[in-house]
Structure 1
Amino acid sequence: MVIELLKIVCVKTIGDSFVKDGYLNKQYCSDIVNSLSNQLILENNTLYVLDHLVNTIRRIIYLTNSNTGRNIDFRIKNRRTAGLIKNNPFEKITKSIETIAVYIYDKNINSFETIYVDLDIDDYLYIIFSLFPKPLYNLFSKNIGLIKFTIVGFTGFLVNLITLYVSTNLYSKLASYEFATMLGSITSFETSLLWNFLLHEYWTFRDRGLKHDKVNLVIRWIKYHIGSIISLFSQVSIVTTLSGYLHYPLYLSLIIGVLTGYISNYVFSSKITWRR
């Protein structure tokens, strides 16, 4: 069955330069439906989609269901004409290779509906991952928590570095440079730790439904401190053992130490600090 002008769900996404005030206009939606007429099939109130659109549509349907309370029956059919398939069927309309939008249900040909779905950072990560080859997409999408943890860790490193330079310069005006460096290191460590903790609390592990009252926040803050100290200890131990005693190159022992500390910190945070 070829899709006619059905009721449409239009979703704002990364490549939304064609969206005015957060909504797609009727003509754009009509154009998109027409462009997809040979790629989407509606049978018995079920939306069928060719497999090259699977990841995109699965994500959009999830967003639509969770934001509007709707329920779409979604099934997959194998691609039919490989030569006609593009990675992004919306590119010609939107002029943006990053645009991912729309979906369709309801056979009422006279009705038209636009639903605005506000995307958060997690949604954008999934959309970006959907542009990767399928094996990478599967790897990243199934380990989104680890990727978010890595992003937070990188920003924490930048906070640590900036705070170290600023605080050391300030302390050096009041004490010797050696003492100022020590105080600066402590200050930068605690500042980056607080930064990371807040991002993990309200972003990385926010989907775990934990209570954010003062008591639970303090408990998790203490646990996170313990996990970070364990991570630091494992890193120092590995570097000392490999380079100090076994005479491996310093850069190699540091890489192994950082990776080990990172993994131990993630496991501790995921399984203990922010345990469900």
Structure 2
Amino acid sequence: MTHTFEPEANKPGTQAGPIPEAAQETLPVVYQDEHLVVINKPTGLLVHRSPIDRHETRFAVQLLRDQLGQHVYPVHRLDKPTSGLLVFALNGDVARALSEKFNDKTIKKQYLALCRGYMPSQRLDYALSVKLDRIADKHKQQDKAAQPAITDFTTLATCELPYAVDRYPVSRYSLVLCEPHTGRKHQIRRHLKHAGHPIIGDAKHGKSVHNRFFANTFQADHLLLSAVGLDFSHPVTGTRLTLNCAAAPKFIQAIKRIDWQEPDWAVAIAPKWLAHG
């Protein structure tokens, strides 16, 4: 069973009294049944409240709860700046079953990233140290050993732009399909940094001159990383679900404005990932 998100109005859940302004925002639903729901999370949206971002007032959990009119249970996370497929269970039993699937690596995940330089297709097997937040993780063990982390990278397109962004007269970039086989914190972002090809727009692991260049030239002013594909067996019915969604709108706009070196570059990218605009 394959599902691809096509923008359309989503009915908010019924609610007594006036609906607060924040609850009027609806999140794009890619798949929904009586057991689970999958959304295309916008970039810049936290999954749930966090002591790291105390000033934030918008959270996917609360927005989706108000939209559906029922409790929802997030079963995995996406970083705040990462857009894309985010799975919620609609009851506790399904939440536990889905969490086990994410933990035992039976879910296939696909991300689209735009990174600096010519990134070669490769499997990167590079253990990552445990990154703990000073506030949110202050009660966790602080001296954990590095954890195994494996990501497959497939380069879909490359470009050379006539701009001296850094110390070279031209600037090179790659559009890459990323398929993580483990789920470490910031795994794709840290693996690409380790490979010398940080993601554009990554304020923590990237390079500011390239981030500013894309923000000023292509109006792509956020992390260019989107979770565009998920493939897993339904925790209740056992049906195989293949879910896809478009990358973030500004990401897509940048991709379409670049003159890629490969003449058939669009063929290598699933059309559903470039559905906006």
TM range (shorter): under 0.3
Richer in strand (by share): 2
Higher RCO structure, 1 or 2 (CA under 8 Å, sep 6+): 2
TM-score of the superposed pair, with normalisation by structure 2: 0.23
Kindly name which structure, 1 or 2, has the bigger radius of gyration based on alpha carbons.
1
Richer in helix (by share): 1
